[in-house]
Amino acid sequence: MNKLRDLLIDGVLLALPLGAVAYLVHKMIGVLVPLITPAAHLLPPGHWFGVAAIDLAALLLLALGLIGLGVFSRSKPGRRVAETLEQLVLSKIPGYLIIKSIAADFSSTEREEGLRPALVSFDDNQVLGFVVEHDEAADRVAVFLPGAPAAGGGNVVVVPAARVQLLDAPLSMARRTMKQRGLGLLQLAVSQAPGTSSAATPGKPR
């Protein structure tokens, strides 16, 4: 019964953000269809897979708009706008962080510019993390320790640089290891970055 309860909770946690996204897409298409109705005569008649041509056109227009927002979000002004919105509004919306985590796990791009996969030593074990920045003056390193299997959330710690071993592996490979609950981590752990015994400088200290 406990296992069934846990599976039910996991299903609800996944269904809520997916349902919210589906609802928003449905509403956006409902807004776009009246806007493109004057040009409906330019579209071919009939249905495809049971969907009207005007609905497909609205969906395509929505996808193009989202792609445009994605391009803007990767620019410096876009990142500032996104960070401000997330701090002031989005982080206060229930389920937003879950949706963000799921989206980060599905993404195949390495959006976290400057992050470096690394092993962080704690007592008698090592933890996979991502180096955020290195303060050379104090010889300390800020490291993001993701959760598994959702690597979009976790904790941030500050540790001495001597306890951080950079890995000679792309960020996408490290994220895939987290999503697979550690599968491949032993092979990843031996890929120490050449010429480094501790954390190199991934970014300027703040």
The per-residue pLDDT for range 61-81, each reduced to its tens digit, is: 888 988 888 888 778 888 788
The reported pLDDT for the residue numbered 199 is: 52
Higher pLDDT, 2 or 33: 33
Q: Alpha-carbon distance 166 to 145, whole Å?
A: 14
Question: Measuring CA to CA, how many Å separate 116 from each of 74, 112, 150?
Answer: 19, 9, 18
- Identify the residue whose tokens are 């092993």: 119
Is pLDDT of 20 > 80? no
Q: Which residues does 174 contact at the CB level (< 8 Å), separation at least 6?
A: 117, 128, 130, 167, 188
Of residues 135, 101, 134, the one with CA closest to residue 115: 134
For residues 200 and 116, the answer to whether their CB atoms sit within 8 Å is: yes
Of residues 122, 173, 120, 110, the one with CA closest to residue 145: 120
For the segment 27-51, the average pLDDT, to the nearest whole number, is 77
Question: Measuring CA to CA, how many Å separate 25 from each of 61, 82, 89?
Answer: 12, 20, 20
Q: Alpha-carbon distance 26 to 51, whole Å?
A: 13
Domain covering 116-189, topology: SH3 type barrels. (2.30.30)
Break the chain into its structural domains and give their ranges.
Answer: 2-106, 116-189
The per-residue pLDDT for range 103-137, each reduced to its tens digit, is: 655 554 544 455 788 889 988 888 888 888 888 88
90, β-bridge pairs: none
Q: Alpha-carbon distance 142 to 138, whole Å?
A: 12
Containing H/E element for 22?
Answer: helix 2-36
The per-residue pLDDT for range 148-204, each reduced to its tens digit, is: 766 666 788 899 999 998 888 777 777 778 777 778 788 777 766 554 545 544 444
Q: Alpha-carbon distance 33 to 53, whole Å?
A: 10
Q: Alpha-carbon distance 165 to 11, whole Å?
A: 37
Is pLDDT of 92 > 70? no
